[in-house]
Amino acid sequence: MLVEALVLSAILFVIGTLGVLVRRNAIIMFLCIELQLNAVNLSFVAFSRYLGIEGQIYVFFVMTVAAAEAAVGLAIIISIFRHYESVNVENFNLLKW
Amino acid sequence: MADILFFIFAAMAIGGGFGVVLQKNPVGSLLFMVGTLASVAGIYVLLDAHFLAAIQVMVYAGAIMVLFLFVIMLLNLGHDYRDDIKSGLGLFAAFAVTGAIAGLLARQLRGAGDNPLLAHFPGPEGMEQLLAEQGAIGAIARPLFTDYVVAFELTGILLLVALVGAVAIAKRRV
Amino acid sequence: MSGLLQASAYESWILHALIWLPLLGILGVLASSEERAKHFAFAWTSGLFVLSLGLLWAFDPAGPLFQFTSDAPWIELWGVGYSLGIDGISLFMILLTTFIMPVAILGAYRYIGEKRRAFYALMLLLQTGIVGVFASMDLFLFYIFFELTLVPMYFIVGVWGGERRVYAAVKFFLYTALGSLLMLVGILYLYIQAQAGGAPPSFHYLELLGTPLTLGEQLWLFAAFALAFAIKVPLFPFHTWLPDAHVEAPTPGSVVLAAVLLKLGAYGFIRFVLPFFPDAATHPTVVMVMLVLGVVGIIYAAWVAAVQPDAKKLVAYTSVAHMGFVVLGIFALTLNGLQGGLLVMISHGISTGALFLLLGMLYERRHTRLIEDFGGLARVAPLLATAFVITALATIGVPGTSGFVGEFLALLGTWERHPIIALVGTTGVIFAAYYMLPMVQKILFNELDREENRTMPDLSGREIAVLAPLVALMVLLGVFPTPVLDRMEPGARAVVEYVEETTRDGSLLEAARLDRVDTQSRFVHDSGRHELLISPDPTWSLSDRSGAFRIPDDHILRDEG
Amino acid sequence: MSESTLSAVAADVGQVAGGGFDPVLPGLILLLPLLGFAVNGALALASGSRSATALREGREEDHASSARPLTHTLPTWVGPGVMLAAFLLTAVNFVGMLGVELAEPVIRTYWTWMATGALSVEAAIQLDQLSLIMMMVITGVGFLIHVFSVGYMKEDPGYPRYFAYLNLFVFFMLTLVMGANFPMMFVGWEGVGLCSYLLIGFWFRDREKANAGKKAFIVNRVGDFGLLVAMFILFAVFGTLDYQAIFGAAPDTLVYGGATVTAVTLFLLLGAAGKSAQVPLYVWLPDAMAGPTPVSALIHAATMVTAGVYLVARSSVLFAMAPVGAAAVATVGAITALFAATIALKQYDIKKVLAYSTVSQLGFMFMGVGVGAYAAGVFHLMTHAFFKALLFLGAGAVIHSMHHALHATHKDWDAQDMRNMGGLRRFMPATWITMWVATLAIAGIWPFAGFFSKDEIIWYVGTSAPASVLYTVLWGMAIATALLTAFYMTRMMVMTFHGPNRTGGAEAKHLHEAPLNMTIPLGILAVLSVFGGWINVPGSVRDSFFGGFGLLPMSDWLDRWLEPLTATAYQIRVDQLGAYASTSPVGGGHVLWGAIATGLALAVVIIGARVVGSREIRPAVDSPEPTGFGKILHDKWYVDELYDRILVRPIQSLSRACWRWIDQVIIDGTVNAVGSMARGFGWFGSLVQTGQLNTYAFILTLGALVVLGVLIL
């Protein structure tokens, strides 16, 4: 089942990547990033089945980081929306000096 | 049986993934995402990661996705946006890059099943034995609170910082 | 005194204390209130100065060259050590630093009006960096401290400075960092080259000393090191950051910059450039270039200083002129010249520091630095005028003040090797009067013709307390510099003679390179440590790492003539 | 210097070493003026702070009030007091040395000043015949001038400051002559320059006066440059800077007439010319008259400006070994003497006349030491100290009186312009008489002091071997200068003291004689101006009618006194160039030429008095501008203007150009250009940074793709 799981993981990752690149809605982009994370998690779990429990522990950490990321990221989105009345990433270019 | 279940879950996950990307309504995307997460949780069970499957459903599909939903609702984004999906050059570039990645991954995975390394791979027996001895939670908890305890505590701090940070950022400016 | 020092094992902890206690003081500064921070900083640095005074007694001019040595591994994989140690040269640089710091802080009590805690914390950090540079025996450590001094200075200029402070701070930082990065490359090259013979990796000064290098390599490395130090000194034509930084810096910043930071460059020349690259440093073309730059600096800076409308800028340019004398003294490669150069460094630290303090006091009173805004102040502020005149005289090297002894020795030493250069350099004494006296006249003398100046208060008690020790030192060093000269002599002599010996017939290093076995026997001690060859005479070169570079007493007392 | 005594003493040299002379507290002689400086300096600071407070509170302090504060009474005793003590100590030592044949100087070492490597400079003083003579002059004349100053400066608000500077000056001057090595002398050398600077600019509120002080210091520094270089060469050659070691080793170490010794002497000459106001560095001295008049008497007539002569006399061995250097000294002296004398002819400011006269007389001294007559040079230095100090102090008394008179009626005339004076002898008889004594002395009239000293110099210049054309010309210049001196001094006296009074009726009522504490120093100096020349009457002259056919005591005393110091130099000179001739270049012996000189001088004085007295002189405001050649002389040959054009202004423009163009444009421009270049690259790079999340995501993915590609492919 290992190879199949890895293939699924790759497919999900590609879908996630596509989503990040084609969507303009910051929240959806965010969701797609979560999808990518999940794809990677899947690989971890698949390998973990054969190589030991550490893979699962990594997934555990990834999930916590994802939760933290979601909290902060959503807060940023809220804060930006308050200012620009939009979550369309093409409407703001804050990320430069 | 397991293989059949796997393919069912896999199909659901891929379908959900496309749904996330293609659905114009954010709430729709979100629901597809929940579906994908649940399917992946199913696959986790098949891969003997019962504990992760549980928290995938509870934390990911439950808590985090609800958080997203709250935000969507809060910002009143629950309707279709025509220009949400790129078109033209942007779309082409996105597909080009994604395609390239897909190609590379496919090239890497093609014939992975015949990889001689697999012959040397230990079977799932070790994991099954571990689970049998310590239980789904014990197997993951034991290393987590011994070898990885520092990282574990740091994650706690990270979450706390994220919490404070999120509050600070989202707080309405006085 | 020495009994007390011995009883407290002074030798073993003083250098560490002088480096790290300022950092500890930062905690105290941050813990005290905005109002009290200055008192704390002053008390702390004064205490450190008192502590450091013990060095004068504890340092034995007849003892090993490097004293108070300590050696602890830090990053063992790379051979980086926390190695400290000082010779007579670093001794006085450290004393100058610990002395100037409380003076500068006390002098700035009123000048620094906001964010005081941060300011004094940065000053203490600066002290750690400077003392660290002078006490390091490890090049890695040296480099870290060398760069560390940049950071607090950058903020001191950039936050508490004048109108163009950001421009000046950035220029200061980038200019000096540019130079020191090249030096880092040089250090690494040296480090790698030193391991070529299979020696264990080490950044220790004495280990890297005597690393066999071809003339070509030496010239390149010389250029890399010299650029870093020439910018710091600053040597004409790398000096333009200095007037900007000085003019914009707050008074204590200017004081420390002029009194100590510039000395890092000259110190680097003496400590590293000369002994590491003796063939390059004695290469006739190189020597000529350095000497000519020094002399041009003396005269050119004096001329430029003379036409400055801004008093602070004027004094900044005089720094360039003075450091020209230092460079002259160093690259004359004679004992007298080097000793003179060192004394100019000390004297310049004191007198220019005092000048900046005085200008700061004037600025606090009138909020202007333009010479033409003053005039006739001698009538309304006689104490200030007296201190100003004495300081100005020390700056232009009137005999009986510290300035004279240094310049005299430096030029005397230069004359022994390069009479024409010294002849031109000596005209600097004329031009010194040409830039300084008009300023003194326009500020202190002439008619008191501006209403604002009529009500200017004279020196306060605190200001007298700041200036009195400086003025006293100017006179004391001018009349009786022997204690300083005596303690510096072994260090200076070691450098000059080492350079002389290693380049005597230009064959030593070349031969060493051709014959690796010979290299080992000459440079490597049985413990695998390199050692400094003072002379082919075996009784002259000896000893373990802590006492390496040691010269027997009879050698020190030996008369050259 | 007579031959017989010389050889006798020359034989003695080296046999009696330090024999029996034990100096009494020599260090204290130095310390006393320093002590005075410390006390007066403290008082000056106290008084300065008090007037500063008054100034800040908006009231001018009232100095005329009867209750003079302590700060203004104490210096009266401290200032002259330390000088008297120093003088007495010096006199004790002088007397102690009188009876002793001292061949080697007595050296007292206090501490090591600078010692590094082969160099060791001690803080040491040296007592020998030359330094003691100088010390006698400095402390003696200095004391008198201090006393005079008490009266002259009494009402000045800067009274304590004045005495502080004056005491400090004496300290440095004593250091200059007592130092046992070149650096010690240099301490005094620059120190006196510093005090001169402070005292010239004593009334610093006046921009002109402050400028004059500055000019003096800077020009002096040009000379100091020469002295420094000379020291460097000496150290390079001898490895030491001690007088004894250098002068002892010089005859053997140096090549006679060689490049080294010539260079040394020429640089020493530069130093001496700076301090002693010789061409081309004399320009500061006339301006230095901006200082208080007693300062002019002490510093710019009697002591400091003679330091150059002292330097040459001290280094006599070196100059004897460098004929070119010595000739240069003599030539510079002659040119200066004649040049300054011509300028003095047309000056109206009484102090300017005296200033140029001083420059001229210093030229005489240079001529003397230049031709190897070191004793004669020092002799003239001494007599000149007497009569020129007297002249300056007398002028000070006159100015003091004029100032009071003009001040009383608020007339804004120049108190120093001789055209505003006239007929003062009725008001100030004591000043008048003493100044005439000094005038006759400087004019070289027998039997006043100046006759003997000046005559001796002229004689040596004329008979200097070899009888080359150069020395004949110098001799002619010396005689011409002597006659010019007689004329312009007579002119000054006549314009000041004789004829009708031109001050004005109301003002004349306020003219008065100076108080006793000013006239007594004048009297003492007058006595010295008469008899001071009798200590060194050449044997031949003494036996003639000039010496009362042997009546004058102490013939050749100074020659013999200084012989231990000059013998070596004299010997070298005689060995190399031959002895001095016994007749002048145009024939005639010493006595004959002495008679001719004094006769001519007397004639010039009498005729000059007639000529000037018969001319109608109007007050300065009514006087026509001088015309023709007179204007050139009046405007001092336009040397100041010349220097301004060819030196001062070009250096200033060059400085400005250095700053504006080289520093700001070229160097800083390059530095900033490098900075701008980096900034430009940065801007170029920043184009990638759109700030759009899309772009970043895209680039990030692209990067991942590349990494992946590298890993997989």
pLDDT at C504: 63
Confidence at residue D691, expressed as pLDDT on a 0 to 100 scale: 78
* Domain range B1-81, its CATH number among 1.20.120.1200, 3.50.50.60, 3.40.50.2300, 1.10.10.60: 1.20.120.1200
Contact B113 A17 (CB under 8 A): no
Residue C127's DSSP bridge partners are none
Q: How confident is the model at residue D534 (pLDDT cuts 50, 70, 90)?
A: confident
Q: Shortest CB distance from D692 goes to which of A17, A21, A90?
A: A90
In this complex, the residue of D205, D225, D228 whose CB is nearest that of residue C447 is: D205
Structure tokens given for C346: 């000390």
Task: Report chain D residues touching chain B, CB-CB < 8 A.
Answer: 694, 698, 701-702, 704-705, 708-709, 712-713
**pLDDT of D541 strictly over 80:** no
- The answer to whether A89 contacts D696, with C-beta atoms less than 8 Å apart, is no
- What is the pLDDT at residue C524? 36
With a CB cutoff of 8 Å and minimum separation 6, the contacts of D423 are: D497, D498, D499, D500, D501, D502
D56 vs C444, C455, C481: nearest CB: C455
D646-698: pLDDT as tens digits: 888 998 899 999 888 888 888 888 888 988 898 899 888 888 778 788 888 88
pLDDT digits (tens, 9 = 90+) for D344-363: 998 999 999 999 999 999 99
Question: Does residue D380 register a pLDDT over 80?
Answer: yes
Contact D607, D486 (CB under 8 A): no
Q: Is residue A78 part of a domain?
A: yes
C-alpha to C-alpha distance for D78 and D65, rounded to whole angstroms = 22
Q: How far is CA D711 from CA D17, D20, D706, D707, in A?
A: 97, 102, 8, 6
> Closest-CA residue in chain A for D693?
A89
User: Which residues of chain D have a CB within 8 Å of the CB of A90?
Assistant: 692, 694
CB spacing of D705 vs B93 below 8 angstroms: no
**Chain D residues with CB inside 8 Å of A20's CB?**
697, 701
- Please compute the mean of the pLDDT values over residues D133-160 and round it to a whole number: 91
Query: Is D651 near chain C, with CB under 8 Å?
Result: yes
Domain ranges of chain C: 283-480, 501-560
**pLDDT attached to residue D65:** 52
pLDDT recorded at residue D638? 87
User: B1 versus A72: which is more confidently predicted?
Assistant: A72
pLDDT tens for A2-32 read 888 999 999 999 999 999 999 888 899 999 9
Compute the count of residue pairs across chains A and D with CB atoms less than 8 Å apart: 32
SS3 state of residue B147: coil
Of A21, A46, A60, the CB nearest to B98: A21
**Amino acid identity for residue D258 in this structure:** G
Predicted confidence at residue D13, as pLDDT, reads: 41
Q: Can you say how many angstroms the Cα of residue D217 is from the centroid of all Cα atoms in its chain?
A: 12
- Asked whether the beta carbons of D681 and C326 are under 8 A apart, the reply is no
Residues of chain C with pLDDT under 50: 506-561
Instruction: Tell me the percentage of chain D whose pLDDT exceeds 70.
Output: 95
Residue showing tokens 């130079």: C179
The number of angstroms, rounded, from the C-alpha of D61 to the middle of its chain's C-alpha atoms is: 35
Distance from the Cα of C423 to chain D's closest Cα (Å) equals 7
Chain D's closest residue to C444, CA to CA, is D204
CA–CA gap between residue D168 and residue D34 (Å, rounded): 6
Query: Taking CB atoms and an 8 Å limit, are D693 and A21 in contact across chains?
Result: no
Residues of chain C contacting D114 with CB distance shorter than 8 Å? 405, 408-409, 481-482, 485
| Burial degree of D586 (CB within 10 A; 0-12, 13-18, 19+) | exposed
The stretch D93-103 carries a mean pLDDT of 84
Q: Domain residues for A10?
A: 2-88
Write out chain B residues lying below 8 Å of D698, CB-based: 93-94, 97
Nearest by CB to B71, from A14, A17, A78: name it.
A78
Task: Please give the mean pLDDT across all residues of chain B.
Answer: 88
| Contact (CB<8Å) D118/C334 | no
Domain of A73: which CATH number? 1.10.287.3510
Q: Which residue has the higher pLDDT, D60 or B2?
A: B2
**C485:D115 CB<8 A:** yes
Q: Which residues contact C190 (CB under 8 A, 6 or more apart)?
A: C139, C208, C211, C213, C221, C276
**Can you give the residue ranges of every domain in chain B?**
1-81, 83-119, 122-174
Residue D67 confidence (pLDDT): 63
Of D689, D692, D701, the CB nearest to A89: D692
Minimum-distance CB partner of D48 among C237, C304, C382 = C382
CB of B97 within 8 Å of a chain D CB? The answer is: yes
**Are the Cβ atoms of B94 and D698 closer than 8 angstroms?**
yes
* DSSP-assigned letter for residue D532: G
CA distance C545 to chain D (A): 26
Q: Determine the Cα–Cα distance for residues B167 and D517; give it in Å rounded to an integer.
A: 93
Kindly report which listed range (A81-95, C57-71, C161-175, D157-171) carries the lowest average pLDDT score.
A81-95
Contact B104 D702 (CB under 8 A): no
pLDDT at D615: 84
Cβ-Cβ contacts under 8 Å, D221 against chain C: 429-430, 432-433
In contact, C139 and C208? CB cutoff 8 Å: yes
Q: Give the list of residues 6+ apart from residue D324 with CB closer than 8 angstroms, or none.
A: D257, D262, D265, D266
For residue D466, whether the previous peptide bond is cis, meaning omega lies within 30 degrees of 0, is: yes
A63 domain-assigned: yes
Nearest to A88 by CA among B65, B174, B99, B90: B90
- Tens digits of residue pLDDT in C184-228: 999 999 998 888 877 888 888 888 887 888 888 899 999 999 999
DSSP string, B38-86: HHHHHHHHHTT-HHHHHHIIIIIIIIIHHHHHHHHHHTT--S--GGGB-
Question: What backbone torsions phi and psi does residue D19 show, to the nearest 5 degrees?
Answer: -50, 105
> pTM of this prediction?
0.82
D679, D686, D687, D693: best to mutate for the A interface, most A CBs within 10 A: D693
Supply the pLDDT for residue D500: 87
